[in-house]
Structure 1
Amino acid sequence: MKDLYLMRHGETIFNQRKLVQGAVDSPLTAAGIKDAAKMGAYLKQQGLTFDHAFASTQERASDTLELVTKQPYERLKGLKEWDFGLFEAQPEYLLPKFVFTDAGQADFFVPYGGEAAVQVMDRMDKTISQIMAKTDNQRVLVVSHGAAILMFLVKWMTSTEIVKIKDLPNCTVLHFTYNTATGKFAFVEMFEPHKL
């Protein structure tokens, strides 16, 4: 059994201003920097070290990872945030009021140049599964994004479990085990920065 620690990046200026942030990027806020460093200290205090670390190619994710650990890491496009097309950098209130897991609305962003839910789910699952399948990856840290992580959860968790953690605060870490025999992930626990 292997361990995956899947983390959402720290708070950014767009998060603070309630702007849609998928393919676009914005820098971490002072709070985002503080929370990332706090989570890094907490993981170290728990005696957690990582064989390897990975981040999305977007700066808010790699900047967060660099505050959590000083170890070398790899940036992977498969860990990027959902592309929301023309909704990028627009106020969040313009987003439709539906659950992203609703199959009837899963393609909402496609006509606007964005990704379908299944595209995000497939690339997240494929990328993380490939990471965990490598022999020397026993305990891994991955830094990604809120909506992209949600799609990974939809793949591997029940709707009841997801409801409990759907509103994923910035810098939250989700711990999963990975069964090498079956290729399946199982949720274990969650660490939220404001609860440390």
Structure 2
Amino acid sequence: MVKTLYLMRHGQTLFNKLQKIQGICDSPLTAKGIADTKKVGKYFQREHIKFDHAYSSTQERACDTLELVTKQPYQRLKGLKEWNFGLFEGEDQFINPKYDVKIGSVGDAFVPYGGDSADAVQKRMVEVLTDLMNRKDNQQILAVGHGASIYLFLKNWIPLDEIVKHVEMKNCSVLKFTFSDNKFHYNETINVVD
């Protein structure tokens, strides 16, 4: 049986607006983040998209996003948290390690500074989302998480050049996947806000 995952990035936060590195550190949703998140909720209502269950990262910006999108109960999961950027947390984005185009990430660059490796984050995301989709009563679910960890999850299922050419993942983007035989199949990115 084919199941469906709607994987949403949280709304714009203060650190997004200020271009600060935001992984395990948190900042509140901006007025734009709140308004955009409500637009996504209205989109789901308009399209008659309902969820068996909803899940969020334990971080406040993701929980707040989910609560603005739907009023249904949800479960917070540490496995959906953002990448830990170690000592880079809260710093200006321009000091981020150099992106390696060959591997499509910064790899282990944050590890010497107390952060996670890209592979560890990707493995965690694949495991938690696979577990959720394998639950008997989960046919169509919503999960709210974070840009970098969602990107690494997506990179596990489609080639990097496809992501670069076809996937624009802004705040409040929703990636739709189908799931069968323990594999995720990327369908589309839903962007209802500017």
Shorter-chain TM-score tier: over 0.9
TM-score normalised to the size of structure 2?
0.95
C-alpha distance in 2 between matches for 1:166 and 1:104: 15
Deviation at 1:160, TM superposition (A): 2.3
Matched, 1:189 2:184: no
Change (3 A) 1:145 1:104: closer
C-alpha distance in 2 between matches for 1:100 and 1:126: 25
- CA deviation vs aligned residue, 1:128-172 (integer Å, no higher than 9, x gap): 000000010000000000000011011111112211355511000
User: 1:55 is aligned with what amino acid?
Assistant: S
Q: What is the match of residue 173 of structure 1?
A: 174
Q: What is the match of residue 5 of structure 1?
A: 6
Q: What is the match of residue 152 of structure 1?
A: 153
Deviation at 1:189, TM superposition (A): 1.2
C-alpha distance in 1 between matches for 2:75 and 2:102: 29
C-alpha distance in 1 between matches for 2:166 and 2:9: 12
C-alpha distance in 2 between matches for 1:159 and 1:104: 10
Task: Report how many aligned residue pairs link the two structures.
Answer: 193
Give the alignment's Cα RMSD to 1 decimal. 1.5
- SS of match in other structure, 2:156: helix
Deviation at 1:68, TM superposition (A): 0.2
- CA deviation vs aligned residue, 1:59-113 (integer Å, no higher than 9, x gap): 0000000000000000000000000000000000000231487279411000000
Deviates more, 1:161-170 or 1:1-10: 161-170
Identity %: 51
- List gaps (5 residues or longer) in structure 1: none
C-alpha distance in 2 between matches for 1:166 and 1:102: 17
